[in-house]
């Protein structure tokens, strides 16, 4: 009985530590280049899985915390701030000479209940304090911030978030100015989902970015998340990215993944590889595209199965950290 328990315990410990890193057929990251290749980082895997850490350290030059810097994670109760996951990510990046993309400062999602419940007249002050507190802590260590995430609905209207309700349209500008003061050297981004294709949402994002630029509001770049599936990249993605760059802004692809119906066939994995190749080509075609970040690098840790039941396999490596066709096609498209 005692022996069995021990064996069971060992097996469990091994599973928790995840698969070992396997030799991959090339390097996504090329430190000498000025276009960074990045990934979202799962804090649990970062803590427990040596194989995950090894791939993370070798293959990427910029890291985004998948959840560790979200407001609900940082400050679940007002005044009780838990820096653990965010500190871990920043320390790992420093140790491996990687940049950090801080994500997100102001977003309607993953807010703690106490922020959602704020009386409207208090919203501005609380938002500013949050930005200051987080940006100042990592001043000089987090190079880039997604200051504002997902401000628009698909029809191009402003989302009725607590920030919009409490402050009106001006909350976006207020957030950027507050972030600039907190770290004058950080690159400040406006990030959006589903604005890759021309259309009402992307037009609204463009009008906002142009207006902020025209009025001297401190914005450095626009991020396109890049959550795709086998419908492929929307037509006009590159031209759309180019019009933002033409405003004198940097651009980035910040959360690329390609969700598949499960179980995925060989043919679907090849089709997925082609979609990923197209994403890389968009970033390479636009000189101001500064970084391409994948939303996770292994199917073992991807948000897709939990948020889109029946779908998955959305990343470059399988659950055992082995390369999928997508990994090879991204390597080739990067010219590695």
Contact footprint for ligand XIL (CB under 6 A): 66-67, 104, 149, 193, 225, 255, 303
Kindly list the distances between the CA atom of residue 205 and the CA atoms of 157, 282, 305, 326, in Å, as whole numbers in the listed order: 10, 19, 29, 30
Q: Which residues pair with 65 in a beta bridge?
A: 41
Q: Is the peptide bond before 263 cis (omega within 30 degrees of 0)?
A: yes
Name residue, tokens 């007249």. 121
Least distance (Å) between residue 6 CB and ligand XIL = 34
CB of 88 to ligand XIL, least distance (A): 16
Q: How far is CA 297 from CA 40, 97, 201, 288, in A?
A: 8, 19, 28, 24
Q: Which is nearer to ligand XIL, 171 or 295 (CB)?
A: 295
Query: Which of the 8 DSSP states describes residue 1?
Result: -
Residues belonging to the active site: 150, 255
Q: Closest approach of Cβ 10 to ligand XIL, in Å? A: 29
Rounded Cα gap, residues 148 and 74, in angstroms: 17
Beta strands 36-41 and 106-107 are unpaired
Distance CA 123, CA 184 (A): 24
Round to whole Å and give the CA distance between 297 and 174.
34
Contact predicate 79/47, CB 8 Å = no
Q: Kindly calculate the radius of gyration of the chain based on its CA atoms and give it in whole angstroms.
A: 20
CB of 296 to ligand XIL, least distance (A): 7
Distance CA 327, CA 98 (A): 20
Instruction: Give the DSSP letter of residue 32.
Output: T
DSSP-based three-state secondary structure for 315: coil
Q: Which is nearer to ligand XIL, 161 or 225 (CB)?
A: 225
Closest distance of CB 225 from ligand XIL, Å: 6
- Of residues 127 and 331, the one with the C-beta less far from ligand XIL: 127
Nearer to ligand XIL, 167 or 259 (CB): 259
- Whichever of 98 and 225 has its CB closer to ligand XIL, that residue is 225
């Amino acid at each position: 009985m005692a022996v069995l328990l021990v064996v069971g315990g060992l097996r469990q410990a091994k599973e928790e530590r995840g698969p070992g890193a396997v030799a991959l057929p090339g390097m996504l990251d090329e430190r000498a280049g000025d276009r960074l290749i990045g990934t979202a980082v799962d804090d649990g895997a970062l803590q427990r899985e040596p194989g995950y850490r090894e791939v993370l350290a070798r293959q990427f030059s910029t890291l985004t915390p998948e959840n560790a810097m979200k407001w609900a994670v940082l400050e679940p109760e007002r005044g009780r701030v838990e820096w653990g996951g965010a500190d871990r990510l920043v320390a790992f990046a420093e140790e491996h000479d990687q940049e950090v993309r801080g994500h997100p400062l102001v977003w309607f999602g993953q807010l703690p209940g106490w922020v959602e419940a704020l009386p409207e007249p208090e919203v501005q002050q609380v938002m500013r304090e949050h930005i200051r507190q987080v940006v100042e802590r990592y001043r000089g260590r987090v190079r880039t911030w997604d200051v504002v995430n997902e401000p628009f609905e698909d029809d191009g209207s402003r989302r009725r978030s607590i920030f919009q309700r409490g402050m009106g349209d001006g909350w976006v500008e207020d957030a950027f100015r507050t972030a600039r003061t907190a770290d004058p050297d950080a690159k400040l981004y406006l990030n959006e989902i589903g604005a890759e294709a021309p259309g009402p949402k992307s037009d609204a994002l463009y009008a906002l970015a142009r207006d902020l630029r025209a009025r001297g509001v401190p914005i450095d770049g626009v991020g396109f998340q890049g959550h795709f599936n086998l419908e492929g990249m929307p037509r006009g993605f590159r031209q759309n990215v180019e019009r933002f760059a033409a405003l004198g802004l940097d651009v980035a692809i910040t959360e690329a993944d390609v969700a598949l119906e499960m179980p995925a066939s060989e043919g679907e994995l090849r089709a997925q590889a082609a979609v990923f190749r197209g994403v890389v080509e968009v970033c390479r075609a636009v000189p101001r595209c500064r970084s391409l970040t994948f939303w996770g690098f292994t199917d073992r840790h991807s948000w897709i199965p939990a948020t889109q039941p029946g779908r998955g396999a959305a990343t470059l490596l399988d659950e055992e950290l082995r390369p999928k066709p997508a990994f090879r096609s991204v390597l080739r498209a990067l010219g590695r």
